[in-house]
Structure 1
């Protein structure tokens, strides 16, 4: 009974540590006996285009709807929709995009949530002025842009140079 209890505890601890690793946090207790206290460098951007698009879309929607002949009564659902679009724009402003570079992974916030790319899944890294492109073995490329999300691409490029050199990942500079 004691051994099965230990296995359950170890299994649950492993599951929680995997979740914490995806979130970029330290593990609660190491199951393998070694600590993974490698530093993670995080670079934050600022989302501007999507909130601006949502605000402009909402303004256009209000102007076209209120100015039409069919809009005579103040419909509550209309104003709730307007408020929700503006709230969504605020969420995009407050949830800043980021890129975190660890010892053997790169993590970023995607539309589906936080995603990690480990060194085995990275085909190549391309550095351009204002852009960083990380090509995956499977799936689409990750693009970090100074124009779209206001990333500090120069600082990120320096960190990715050392990451690529330590992990033997092809790095291209254009």
Structure 2
């Protein structure tokens, strides 16, 4: 398909969506542009940071020269803010027609279907194996991902893009 054709389809879809919104009906989302986003919750790193802060405060109170100056409190506030950042910045997996996307420590990463070797699903885990690079692992225990729903959607994604899909 040419890019101009895709632009025309997007433009017409947005026009139809605006008209449907004015009339009170739901927006029209074509199957090709459907994105499914599965959100998790990062709990382990924020809890570990809060425990580290507690240990830091405890060790500072044990010393006879325990300082409670401005830099001490700035350090505690910065670690609390870092824990809050990791708690509220939720990990996710977005599944599109021909790509998957997630957030890593260095930013958002997109993996095209051509770069995926295999998708493995087992109870509580979803593993996307790349042809080059490290595997993407989504865990119910670590990040509270809805792995059952993810497995259903990734199975459809694998069938559409001829990717090996295994369930254990």
- TM-score range with shorter-chain normalisation? 0.7 to 0.9
Q: CA deviation at 1:112?
A: 0.6
Unaligned residue ranges in structure 2 (runs of 5+): 11-29
**CA distance, structure 1, for counterparts of residue 68 and residue 145 of structure 2:** 42
Q: Displacement, 1:67?
A: 1.6
Matched, 1:114 2:86: no
Corresponding residue for 2:124? 130
What is the deviation of 1:31?
Answer: 5.1
Work out the CA distance in 2 between the residues paired with 1:134 and 1:75.
48
- Structure 2 distance, partners of 1:32, 1:78, is 59
Alpha-carbon shift at residue 66 of structure 1 (Å): 1.9
Relative to the length of structure 2, the TM-score reads: 0.82
**Matching of residue 66 in structure 1 with residue 38 in structure 2:** no
5+ residue gaps, structure 1, are: 1-29
Give the superposition deviation at 1:134. Answer: 0.4
TM-score where L is the length of structure 1: 0.79
Distance of 2:3 and 2:164 partners within structure 1: 33
Q: Tell me by how many angstroms 1:32 deviates.
A: 2.8
Q: Choose the corresponding residue for 2:48, options 15, 37, 53.
A: 53
Matched, 1:153 2:125: no
Q: How many positions carry a matched residue from both structures?
A: 144
**What's the secondary structure of 1:126's corresponding residue?**
strand
Indicate yes or no: 2:143 matched with 1:168. Answer: no
Once the two structures are superposed, residues 41-85 of structure 1 have per-residue CA deviations (whole angstroms, 9 ceiling, x without a partner) of 0000011001000000110111011221231x4221011001000
Q: 1:82 aligns with which of 73, 76, 79?
A: 76
Q: When you count helix as a share of all residues, which structure comes out higher?
A: 2
Equivalent position of 1:25 in the other structure = none
In 2, Cα distance between the equivalents of 1:157 and 1:70?
55
Q: Secondary structure at the match of 2:5?
A: coil
Aligned to 2:25: none
